[in-house]
Amino acid sequence: MKPQFLIIKMWGRAWPAVTAIITMLAIFLWPSLPLRGIGNWMTVYFNTPYLFYLYPIIAVLSGIYVGLYVYNKKVAPCCSVESARTGFAGSLTGILLGACPACIPVIAIFLPLAFNIFLSRIAPIFSVISIAVLLWVIYKMNAFKRFS
C-alpha cells in the first residue's frame, strides 16, 4: 500500500471523516445560535472582513484536529494526548474569542464592559493565535507524516 500523509489518510476511515466534517460544520455554524438564525450569522459573516477569511480556517483546522484525534483513538495510535489538549485550547480560543463582537456573551457575563470591548477589538489577533496553535498541534499529531 502506498504511504500517504495522515491528514489525507484519515479521510478514508468513516469515524474520523464523519467527526471531522460534523465538527467543521458545527463550529462554522455555531454563531447562528447567539445571533438567532443562520441568516443573521451569514450577514455578519459576509460583512466582517477578518471573520470572512479567518473563521472558516479555524473551523476547518478544528475539524481536522478532531478527525486526527478520533483516528488516534478509534483506528490507530498516531499522536500524543498532550498535543490534543493544546489543540482543544486553540480551537476554543478561536471559537469563543475570534468569532464576532456580539457572539461572546458567555465570556461577557464574567467580565466588565471595558474588557469585553477590548477582547472584541482584538478578536482578529485571537483568531490568528488560534490558527497558529491548531496548525502546530495538527503538525505535532503527525498529520504530515506518511503512513502506509
Partner 1 sequence: MKKFITIAGICCALPIIVIALLAWQGNQQGSPNTPQQKEKANNEVVSATVGKEFPTFSVIDVDGVSIANQVIKGKPTIIWFTTTWCTPCQIGAKKVAKFNEELGNLLNVLVFFVDPRESENDLRKWRDSYASPDWKLAFNNGLAEKIGIKFLDSKYFLDKDGMILDFNTQIVDDYYLNLLRSATKVNQ
**Minimum distance, C-beta of residue 59 to partner 1, in the bound complex (Å):** 18
Nearest 5°: phi and psi at 42? -65, -40
Return the number of the residue (49 or 148) whose C-beta is nearest partner 1.
49
Is position 82 an interface residue for partner 1 (rule: CB under 8 A)? yes
Q: Which is nearer to partner 1, 19 or 93 (CB)?
A: 93
Tell me which residue of 108, 112, 141 sits closest to 123, measured CA to CA.
108
By CB under 8 A, residue 129 contacts partner 1 = yes
Please state, as a whole number, how many other Cβ atoms lie within 10 Å of the Cβ of residue 53. 11
Nearest to 8 by CA among 145, 131, 140: 145
Pick from 31, 19, 84, 35: which is nearest to 56 by CA?
Answer: 31
* Closer residue to partner 1, CB minimum distance, 14 or 47: 47
Name the grid cell of 148. Answer: 502506509
Q: Give dist(CA 8, CA 23) in Å, integer.
A: 17
Interaction between residue 81 and partner 1 (CB under 8 A): no
By CB under 8 A, tell whether 38 contacts partner 1: no
Interaction of residue 66 with partner 1, rule CB under 8 A = no
Out of 101, 135, 145, 147, the residue judged to bind partner 1 by CB under 8 A: 101
- Does residue 78 interact with partner 1 by CB under 8 A? no
In angstroms, rounded to a whole number, what is the distance separating the alpha carbons of residues 40 and 31?
A: 9
Residues near partner 1 (CB under 8 A) are 34-37, 40, 43-44, 47-48, 51, 82, 86, 100-102, 105, 108-109, 111-122, 129
